[in-house]
Structure 1
Amino acid sequence: MNPSASGWINKFGSLVEKEQDLYTDFDSHYCDLRNTGFVYGINMEIPEFIVPEYKLSEDEKAKINLLHALYGIYRLETNESEFEPFLEKTFEFYKVLKVGHFSFLSKMLTGSTTPARLEKLIEARVSLGDSLINKTFSSVITNSLLFIDVLLFKCYLGDPRDIREQAKLMEYLTINITYHALSSKETNKSDERLALLFASSLTFIESDAQDFDGSYRQQLLEKRSEIENRYFLDIACLAVWEDKSLEYQESEFIFGLGKDLGLKEDIITSSLDKIKLFFLKNSKTVPFLKDTNLAIQFYDNMSKMVNKLILRNSKRLQKELAESKELVFLISKSTIKDLTPEEKKKVQKQLIDIFKSIPSLAIFLLPGGAVLLPIFIKLIPKLLPSSFDENRIEK
């Protein structure tokens, strides 16, 4: 399955239909989502029943996890498993939430079917920055508060009234809990990046309009669902544990918060244990903990984006390459030895001709686009062996 190509939602539906015993209760579903990192807003894994054919980027994992989370809540709330009604209800939910407005041109380009429009909506919902510059220079481009969508969807399935007001309240509580959790410790660069990431992920409120005066604690005493309270606690644990230590003041804050939320002590302890294990397993790869210089960050993110472009246009590229045997020979040669200056010029000229025929690869034609050619040449051998369509549904 390729979450960067059209048709991935229908492909997901064909796979999840075979997993009838996947969603048994809210607790197991929540624990699965937490294990993948989706609850924390740090997508490290995807559901086990999906086996990708290549390494997925952070935003691709987030797309899969968001759809998986929403479908699981739908199954548990409605006791219905049909995929098409779920898609209709999900799209209706986002329309009521007033997220993901589409222009007439956008509808024309993405298709009129619900899956096609929902694919575009989820892509916009997952990504913090929709511009090339944002995606290139930002080491983290994924919305970290996507689990709030899942909590809101659960509320919407029960009672769709005042859903935007509930959205504002959930974001308000989440950002205040994060702020006060971070305030209970000595801050460092990772703390600052985490705070910035969460603030950037807000949709319904403005972070700079918040007072952070502690009045949010009173609202936590109101009766809320257990899954909401566990989410708030897990976010607080994430904030205090990202430096891999828990001081007395931080522990006092976590257990005090858990008490306000009406959670038992064993659940609070379990929440701390889970975040410890998560960081022990993933701390070297958690995006906001990386402190790379700008040049390396630029290359890494550009490489990911070019990789997605290649995969998205794989069939077109294969067709064009098949008609240029000399280019294929030179690219193959470049993987085992250096090309001469004349051969490099020939490769560049022929590749640019190919890019002109594929609109979504127009990035290579921009000033400075030649810098991307080495990345393209490095990635393109993966394309040569065979034609594929990751979102083809087997009949």
Structure 2
Amino acid sequence: MNPSASGWIIKFGSLIEKEQNLYMDFDTHYRALRHTGFVYGINMEIPDFIVAEHKLSEDEKAKINLLHALYGIYTLETNKSDFSSFIEKTFEFYKVLKIGHFSLLSKILTGSNTTAQLEKLVDTRVSLGDSLINKTFNSIITNSLLFIDVLLFKCYLSNPKDIREQAQFMEYLTINITYHALSSKEKNKSDERLALLFASSLTFIKSDAQDFDGSYRQQLLEARSEIENRYFLDVACLAVWEDKSLEYQESEFIFGLGKDLGLKEDIITNSLEEIKVFFLKHSKTVPFLKDTNLAIQFYDNMSKMVNKLILRNSKRLQKELSESKELVYLISKSTLKDLTPEEKKKVQNQLIDIFKSIPSLAIFLLPGGAVLLPIFIKLIPKLLPSSFDENRVEK
């Protein structure tokens, strides 16, 4: 399944129909979503029943996890499993919620079926920035508060009244809990990046309009579903644990917050244990914990993007390359020694001709696209038959 290509939602539906008793209860579903990192807003994994053909980016994992989360809530709340009805209800929900520049999307997608429109809407919902520059320079492009959509969808299925106001209230509580959790300890760069990530993910309120005076604690005492309260607690645990330690003040804050939320002590302890396990497993790959300079970040992100494009067009690239014997010779030669300036120019010109024939690689034709060519040349030998590179060492 490729979440970046059209038809992925229908593919998801065909896969989910084969899974029996996947959604037993809210607790099991919530734990599964927390395991993937979706609850924390850090999508590191996807559900086990989905096998990705290629390595997925974080925003692609987020798309899968969001749909998985929404469908699970739908089946548990309605006791129905019809995927077509779920699509219609989800599209209706986002339309009522008025997010993702819905009016603009409606104009663009006039005549498209509901599934195609929902794919576009999910894409705008997941990505904080959809421009090439944004995705190149900013490795944190995924909305970190997507689980709020799931909580809102649960509310919408039982009572669709005032759903927008509920969305504003949930974001208000989430951003206040995050702010005060971070304030319970000495801040570092990772804390600042986490705060920025959450603030940039707000949709219904503006973070700079909040005074963070602590009045939110009184509102936590109001009756809400347990899944909402567990989410708020897990967000707080994420904020205090990202430095991989828990000081006395932080522990006091978490247990005090859990008490205000009406959660039992074993649930609070379990939340702390789960975030500890999550960070031990993923701390080296969590985006907001990385501290690299702009040049390294640019190259890394560019490499990932080019690698993704190459792998997903490998068959077509191999076909095009097989028809250009001189290009294949020069690329295979480049794996053994440096090319002359004239040879490099030939490679560049012939590659651009190939890119013209593959629409998804049109990025190379943009002004400055030649910057990507060294990365492409570095990656392309992996696609060539081993006979072209006798000294290749397989890892």
What is the TM-score with the length of structure 1 in the denominator? 0.91
**C-alpha deviations, 1:50-95, integer Å up to 9, x for none?**
1212221111111111111111111111111121111111111111
Partners of 1:164 and 1:238 in 2: CA distance: 26
Conserved? CA contact 2:244–2:279, under 8 Å: yes
RMSD across aligned C-alpha pairs, in angstroms? Answer: 2.0
Identify if the C-alpha distance between structure 1 residues 62 and 383 changes in structure 2 by more than 3 Å, giving closer, same or farther: farther
SS of corresponding position for 1:187: coil
Partners of 1:306 and 1:20 in 2: CA distance: 38
**C-alpha deviations, 1:319-350, integer Å up to 9, x for none?**
54454343344334444554343332111101
**C-alpha deviations, 1:9-34, integer Å up to 9, x for none?**
11111111111121100000000000
1:84-163 equivalence runs, <5 A? 84-100=84-100, 101=102, 102-103=104-105, 106-107=108-109, 112-163=112-163
Give the fraction of aligned pairs with identical amino acids, expressed as a percent. Answer: 86
Structure 1 gap segments, 5+ residues each: 386-395
Match in the other structure for 2:194: 194
Displacement of 1:8 in angstroms is: 1.4
Conserved? CA contact 1:58–1:142, under 8 Å: yes
Identify if the C-alpha distance between structure 1 residues 371 and 244 changes in structure 2 by more than 3 Å, giving closer, same or farther: same
Conserved? CA contact 2:54–2:312, under 8 Å: no
Matched letter for residue 378 of structure 1: K
1:246-261 equivalence runs, <5 A? 246-261=246-261
Identify if the C-alpha distance between structure 1 residues 93 and 180 changes in structure 2 by more than 3 Å, giving closer, same or farther: same
Displacement of 1:250 in angstroms is: 0.9
Match in the other structure for 1:303: 303
**C-alpha deviations, 1:328-385, integer Å up to 9, x for none?**
4433444455434333211110111233344443322233211101222334456668
Conserved? CA contact 2:199–2:207, under 8 Å: yes
Matched letter for residue 145 of structure 1: L
1:1-395 equivalence runs, <5 A? 1-100=1-100, 101=102, 102-103=104-105, 106-107=108-109, 112-311=112-311, 317=317, 320-381=320-381
Partners of 2:6 and 2:333 in 1: CA distance: 33
Match in the other structure for 2:392: none
SS of corresponding position for 1:342: helix
Displacement of 1:288 in angstroms is: 0.4
Matched letter for residue 124 of structure 2: A
Structure 2 gap segments, 5+ residues each: 386-395
Identify if the C-alpha distance between structure 1 residues 19 and 333 changes in structure 2 by more than 3 Å, giving closer, same or farther: farther
Displacement of 1:131 in angstroms is: 1.4
Partners of 1:95 and 1:104 in 2: CA distance: 10
Match in the other structure for 1:393: none
What is the TM-score with the length of structure 2 in the denominator? 0.91
SS of corresponding position for 2:109: helix
Match in the other structure for 1:388: none
Equivalent residues, number: 383
Matched letter for residue 107 of structure 1: L
Partners of 2:118 and 2:379 in 1: CA distance: 29
SS of corresponding position for 1:204: coil
Deviates more, 1:285-294 or 1:127-136: 127-136
Conserved? CA contact 1:36–1:46, under 8 Å: yes
Conserved? CA contact 1:4–1:308, under 8 Å: no
Partners of 1:103 and 1:276 in 2: CA distance: 40
Partners of 1:152 and 1:382 in 2: CA distance: 45
Deviates more, 1:81-90 or 1:331-340: 331-340
Partners of 1:269 and 1:133 in 2: CA distance: 42
Identify if the C-alpha distance between structure 1 residues 382 and 13 changes in structure 2 by more than 3 Å, giving closer, same or farther: farther
Partners of 2:303 and 2:215 in 1: CA distance: 45
Partners of 1:190 and 1:252 in 2: CA distance: 21
Identify if the C-alpha distance between structure 1 residues 183 and 371 changes in structure 2 by more than 3 Å, giving closer, same or farther: same
Displacement of 1:307 in angstroms is: 3.1
Deviates more, 1:255-264 or 1:319-328: 319-328
Partners of 1:65 and 1:284 in 2: CA distance: 21
Specify which structure has the bigger relative contact order, considering alpha-carbon pairs within 8 angstroms and separated by 6 or more residues.
1
**C-alpha deviations, 1:151-209, integer Å up to 9, x for none?**
01111111111111000000000000000000110101011000000000000000000
Partners of 1:167 and 1:295 in 2: CA distance: 38
